[in-house]
Amino acid sequence: MSAPKRELAFAKINLSLRVLGRRNDLYHELQSLVVFAGISDRIEARTATDLALDIEGPFAAALSSGRDNLVMRAARDLSDLCGVNAGAHITLEKNLPVASGIGGGSADAAATLRALLRLWKVAPEGTALTRLAASLGADVPVCLDPSPALMSGVGEKIVRLPRLPEFWLLLVNPGAALSTADVFRALAAPPLASAPEDVSLPDFVMLDGLVSWLENEPNDLERPARALLPVVGNVIGQIAATPGCRLARMSGSGATCFGIYAKEAEALAAASAFATAHPGWWAVAAPVVSGSG
């Protein structure tokens, strides 16, 4: 019997998120600089005769372990793709808040795929794994390799980046969920005027250069998210006011917001301050991870 296979499902943070327009297929053309924070859900896959999922952890109650769970869908689809007859008993330790703009479900699905590839000793040919990941959700492909990336299209175009300067993130969620569909609907993006050009990113050697670039590359979903859930603006303002914060904004479609810090001590102090001031909120400090961990 194979030993259990374990994978971390790191929080996906959109440092920037431009919505370039609505395409003819009604999807939105996006451009986003993505990093992964060193705070994660955890996946463990063990040999079994059938597919089964247990969910534990602080946010377990927000999820169902039924067939529609993204982890179960990932397992079934990989089994079908590779012709696997074996099952797997999967345990998801849910440490990240649900529907919070940090790609938790997508990261869970990607981590499940990585774990089962090792448990079942299979290797899909060519781009089959990427296509499977994309069928599960637009953010799943980028989560297959939790390293910095520039995403574009609807998430299918991924350019992995050289190592970014080291920095820390403060992540804060006020305990409120935002529907991605509602946020995009409130944005009311116009039709895409023309095919977007490829973006060439500068070489971010220093954190100052990254922050300066980000100041001109906002999250276009932040404005509609603030209108739907005004506390988002409050969270961003409080993060920006913490000592050492270089930039504060919302990730994804919200409601998790983040701050960028050069020093670990600054991020940890900010997280401690939020825990004291808002004990009902989720607030953690974490470094940016540079690879698959």
**Residue 139 a catalytic site member:** yes
Selected catalytic residue, list 41, 108, 139, 220: 139
pLDDT along the chain (293 residues), means of 10: 92 97 91 97 97 97 91 98 96 96 97 98 96 96 96 93 92 93 95 83 92 97 97 98 98 97 98 97 96 50
pLDDT confidence of residue 24: 87
Of 82, 136, 135, 80, whose CA–CA distance to 109 is shortest? 136
| Range list of β-strands (E), the chain | 5-14, 18-22, 28-48, 51-56, 87-93, 149-153, 157-160, 168-173, 245-250, 257-261, 282-289
Q: In degrees rounded to 5, what are phi and psi of residue 125?
A: -80, 150
pLDDT confidence of residue 66: 87
**Residue 77 a catalytic site member:** no
Number of other CB atoms surrounding residue 113 within 10 Å: 25
Q: Which amino acid is at 228?
A: L
pTM, two decimal places? 0.95
pLDDT confidence of residue 291: 61
In this structure, the dihedral spanned by the alpha carbons of residues 106, 110, 115 and 119, taken in order and rounded to 10 degrees, is: 110
CB-side neighbour CA atoms (13 Å) of 229 = 24
Token pair, residue 219, equals 């999250």
pLDDT confidence of residue 262: 98
- Distances in Å between the Cα of 120 and the Cα atoms of 13, 165, 235, 266 are 30, 36, 44, 43
pLDDT confidence of residue 1: 66
CA angle 236, 241, 243 (to 5 degrees): 130
Domain architecture of the chain: domains with CATH: 5-160 (3.30.230.10), 168-289 (3.30.70.890)
In this structure, the dihedral spanned by the alpha carbons of residues 205, 156, 290 and 69, taken in order and rounded to 10 degrees, is: 150
pLDDT confidence of residue 293: 42
Selected catalytic residue, list 12, 41, 94, 108: 12
